[in-house]
Structure 1
Amino acid sequence: MAVRAVRGAVQLERDDAGHMRDQVGELLTVVLERNGLTADDLISIWFTATPDLHSDFPAAAARDLGIVDVPLICAQELDIAGAMPRVVRLLAHVETDLPKSAVAHVYLGAAAALRKDIAQ
C-alpha cells in the first residue's frame, strides 16, 4: 500500500454555507469514487479557499459526510490578481494500491480550467 496525493477543486456559484457544503461534499464524493477509495483510506485532507469565501469552513463538508476521524485543515489561497474567484481546492493524502499515473485528480465544473493538464 502506498501513500498518494489526490488533488481537486470546485468553483462555487456564491459564498453561501449550504452551497459550499454541497459543492465540497460533491467534490469529496467524486474524488473517493473515481479513485476507488473509502473514508478509511484517507490519511489527511488540506482544503484551501480563495479570499472571497467567508461563509464556512470547507472541511465542514467532510464532517457532514461522516469523515470524522481524519485530520483536516483549512487555509486561504493566495490573493492573486486575475485568479479564478470562489474556488475551494483540496489535497488529500490517501493509502492506495494505485500507481501515481492512475490517480484521478478531480476538477469539477469551471474549476477544470485550473488544471487542464490533469483534470479528469
Structure 2
Amino acid sequence: MTRGIRGATTVHENEEKLIINNTKLLVDEMVQKNNIMATDVSHVFISVTKDLNAAFPAKSLREIPGWTYVPVMCMAEIDVPGSLPACIRVMMVVNTTEEQKDVKHIFHNDAIKLRPDLVNRGGE
C-alpha cells in the first residue's frame, strides 16, 4: 500500500545552503523515523513559498546515498495571504505496511505551527 508522509521546515533567509541543508535534515528525519528505504519511495513532491527561490530543495535528496532514481519534483506553494513564510513542504509517497495512524510526519522550526496536532504526538 502507498502512504503519504508529510514534512515541513522553514529557513530564516532565502539562501541556497540553508534551503538545501534544512531540506536534507527534514528528509533524513522523515526517512529515519519511518524506516524508509529509497526503493520503497514512489515519488517526492517539494513545495516552497514564493519567497524562496535561491535553490531547488530537491537537490538535497541527491546527497542521500541510494536516492539517485527517486523521482522528485519542486513546485511553488499557493500564495495564501497570511500563510507561513519561508516554508519548504515535503510530500513523500512510499510503499509501506504501516497503518496511516502510525506514519510519523515531521515538522521543523516554525513549520511546527502547520500541524501542532501531529507535533504533539511526540515530535512527529
TM-score bracket, shorter-length normalisation: over 0.9
Please list the CA deviations of residues 73-113 of structure 1 after superposition, one character each: whole Å capped at 9, or x if unmatched: 11101111111110000100001111111000111121111
Gaps of 5+ in 1: none
Q: How many matched pairs?
A: 119
Output the amino acid matched with 2:49.
Answer: T
Output the amino acid matched with 2:105.
Answer: H
How many angstroms apart in 2 are the aligned matches of 1:90 and 1:14? 19
Provide the residue aligned with 1:17 in structure 2. Answer: 16
Provide the residue aligned with 1:52 in structure 2. Answer: 51
How many angstroms apart in 2 are the aligned matches of 1:21 and 1:65? 12
Alignment of 1:87-98 (within 5 A): 87-98=87-98
Tell me the CA shift for residue 14 of structure 1.
1.1
Other structure's SS at 1:4 match: strand
How many angstroms apart in 1 are the aligned matches of 2:21 and 2:43? 20
Other structure's SS at 1:36 match: coil
Tell me the CA shift for residue 54 of structure 1.
0.7
How many angstroms apart in 1 are the aligned matches of 2:78 and 2:93? 22
How many angstroms apart in 2 are the aligned matches of 1:93 and 1:25? 17
Provide the residue aligned with 2:116 in structure 1. Answer: 116
Tell me the CA shift for residue 118 of structure 1.
2.1
Please list the CA deviations of residues 11-33 of structure 1 after superposition, one character each: whole Å capped at 9, or x if unmatched: 11111111111100000000001
Alignment of 1:1-120 (within 5 A): 2-66=1-65, 67-119=67-119, 120=124
Gaps of 5+ in 2: none
